[in-house]
Structure 1
């Protein structure tokens, strides 16, 4: 007996479900964001992430695997040339699902599914054992460097004033 697929059944047969997910993925890659039901988005997420992973590989075999799922060559070209370079440093989690509320007609839970194209910020890895050992870290001592500089500036100003006063006296004596 064949093992049933995991997740909600989206109506129709398996072929209809495959085609619906392929069309949703193509729309997601074309528009970068789609509005759909929560059930469809949850079923679409692994399909879309797998296709993006293939696009990150970028070789001919990966392109043919994606073309087997999405029949539109322009969408596949956009996935490989525009989307894959933007998510090259991301290790997964290429999609984001945001709940929007409920649809008016049938009260279905609606979501906004979008590609995460922002640059990834690497997290600082910390080891718990070393963090406990180095927990009481003393704060660095900040030396006050501004006060001596201020004194130097004041000393320079005093010297400049004495030089100017001497010059003024010398010019006054010459004028006599």
Structure 2
């Protein structure tokens, strides 16, 4: 039976898995996005999101809790200074996983995991999509009336 076994062990012993997730979290905080396999990205998401939530409240206790998981002063400093200010108003979902296809060497499913608030491309796309739908609705109503006026003027001349 598989009751209460939610953790993906990633074919590693406990110490190796914790060290790997800690290192990947530090890299994610430092570089804002990393490429890895889909399974590791999902495990990393479960590992790093509670740490980001803790960073929103800058207390000594929270810093010590996060440091015990990350084991990197630079990453903890960056997390509490820069990342926490960006995600202050976000209630959750701080990371995004984008699938990239398969790796050439071993055909492993690859993915890019990134911090949501640091990707400017998606912010621009979302605003342009909203504006285009609004414009298209307005332009349809105005375009129906505009050609009629132009056709009437052309017919009179």
**Number of aligned positions between the proteins:** 118
CA RMSD, aligned part only?
A: 1.8
**What is the TM-score with the length of structure 1 in the denominator?**
0.63
Find the aligned partners of 2:28 and 2:5 in 1 and give their Cα distance. 23
Match of residue 57 from structure 1: 57
After the TM superposition, which segments of 4 or more aligned residues of structure 1 sit over 4 Å from their partners? none
Query: 1:79-158 counterparts in 2 under 5 A?
Result: 79-117=79-117
Find the aligned partners of 1:64 and 1:89 in 2 and give their Cα distance. 23
Task: Please state whether the residue corresponding to 2:117 is helix, strand or coil.
Answer: coil
Over residues 16-57 of structure 1, what are the superposed CA-to-partner deviations in whole Å (9 max), with x where a residue is unaligned? 111111111111000000000000001110111011001011
Greater relative CO (CA pairs within 8 A, separation 6+): 2
Task: Please state whether the residue corresponding to 2:83 is helix, strand or coil.
Answer: helix
**Structure 2 gaps, min length 5:** 124-157
**Structure 1 gaps, min length 5:** 122-176
Q: How far is 1:4 from its partner?
A: 6.4
Q: How far is 1:8 from its partner?
A: 2.8
Find the aligned partners of 2:92 and 2:7 in 1 and give their Cα distance. 20
Which has a greater percent of helix?
2
Task: Please state whether the residue corresponding to 1:99 is helix, strand or coil.
Answer: strand
Find the aligned partners of 1:47 and 1:69 in 2 and give their Cα distance. 9
